[in-house]
């Protein structure tokens, strides 16, 4: 039993780790952090190995949550640096809102963010996103549409602000 469990886990790791780490790399723009996130997702899967029905879905959703946590940490650090810089400056300098898509995706509610990450960043078809999230395909399509509309509006406002 233990041998087959170890073999199955090793095979799953060999099959999915490179793609998961690559997906994380595109999201966090750093090789080391991407590998840490992918490894942590596998560690969490291993801890729940007997209770997880869909390992691939578990890995991607876990990694998406870890990426979100990473983005939040970076944003907290940026705010702390800005606060420290503005306190030291004679007159505070306010930067325009960062219009990067990554920050905008980060700001989406989880209901919209996870389908965007899985569909557009992991290149998963809607059917697969539906299976992994436990939502109907129509719901996933509606969530993707709603997320695109929110992103479009944020980008327009950011561009208008910078012009």
The mean pLDDT of the chain is 82
Residue 51 has which token pair?
């209770």
Q: Is the pLDDT of residue 88 over 70?
A: no
Q: How far is CA 144 from the centre of its chain?
A: 15
Q: Is the pLDDT of residue 139 over 90?
A: yes
Q: Are 133 and 61 in contact (CB under 8 A)?
A: yes
pLDDT value at residue 162: 60
Give pTM, 2 decimals.
0.62
Comparing C-alpha atoms, which of 28, 10, 8 is closest to residue 117?
28
pLDDT per residue as tens digits for the range 26-60? 888 889 999 999 999 999 999 998 888 889 889 99
pLDDT per residue as tens digits for the range 90-112? 444 444 444 477 778 878 888 89
pLDDT value at residue 90: 44
Q: How far apart are CA 122 and CA 64, in angstroms?
A: 10
């Amino acid at each position: 039993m233990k041998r087959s469990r170890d073999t199955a886990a090793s095979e799953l790791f060999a099959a999915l780790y490179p793609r998961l780490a690559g997906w994380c790399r595109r999201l966090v723009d750093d090789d080391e952090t991407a590998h840490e996130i992918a490894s942590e997702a596998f560690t969490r899967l291993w801890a729940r190995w007997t209770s997880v029905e869909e390992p691939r879905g578990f890995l991607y959703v876990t990694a998406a949550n870890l990426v979100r946590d990473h983005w939040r940490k970076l944003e907290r650090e940026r705010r702390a640096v800005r606060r420290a810089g503005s306190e030291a400056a004679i007159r505070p300098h306010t930067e325009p809102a960062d219009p990067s898509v990554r920050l905008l995706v980060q700001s989406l509610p989880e209901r919209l963010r996870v389908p965007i990450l899985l569909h557009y960043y992991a290149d998963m078809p809607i059917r697969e996103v539906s299976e992994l999230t436990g939502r109907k395909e129509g719901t996933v399509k509606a969530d993707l549409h709603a997320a695109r509309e929110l992103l479009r509006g944020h980008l327009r406002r950011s561009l208008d602000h910078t012009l």
